[in-house]
Amino acid sequence: MRPIVVAIFLLIAISLGAFGQISLKHGMSKQVLGAPGLGFAPKIIRAIFTPYVLLGFALYAVSSMFWLVVISPGGWALSYAYPMIAISYVAVVLLSRVFFREAVTPVQWFGILLMCCGLVLVARFGASTGTVH
């Protein structure tokens, strides 16, 4: 498979996963689960069946289908592709700021910058095919 096609599938998988996280968070915004104990299971079941939580699960399922293409033969080596999922960490932080007005500290931004630097290194010097040189 052409590398650009694999990259597009990867970006779709990452995007769907990030929006899945946002949907799960939104779905859980009114759910109070509290400490495990009596009544915990019904709370979890009720939470699972809220529309946004179900949407989050669905987005993850579709994301996984795109991911399977990325790691299939003709796709990329897992040791190359999997670190790219860190892009979703950055996306979730940005989306959380936009949708939930979550604060991000300077130290967190620095950590995100370090992750991005690591991604550049993997992308530049990693072997996408998984072959041994």
76-126 residue pLDDT tens: 999 999 999 999 999 999 999 999 999 999 999 999 999 999 999 998 888
32 occurs within a structural domain: yes
Specify whether the CB–CB gap between 60 and 17 falls below 8 A: yes
Total domains in the fold of the chain: 1
Residue 131 has pLDDT above 60, yes or no: no
Residue entry with tokens 């859980």: 28
133 occurs within a structural domain: no
Q: Domain range spanning residue 94?
A: 3-125
pLDDT at 35: 67
Question: Element (H or E) spanning 23, and its range?
Answer: helix 3-28
Specify whether the CB–CB gap between 119 and 71 falls below 8 A: no
How far, in Å, CA of 122 to CA of 15, rounded? 19
132 occurs within a structural domain: no
66 occurs within a structural domain: yes
What digits encode the pLDDT tens for the residues 2-56?
989 999 999 999 999 999 999 999 999 988 777 666 677 888 888 899 999 999 9
pLDDT at 132: 42
131 occurs within a structural domain: no
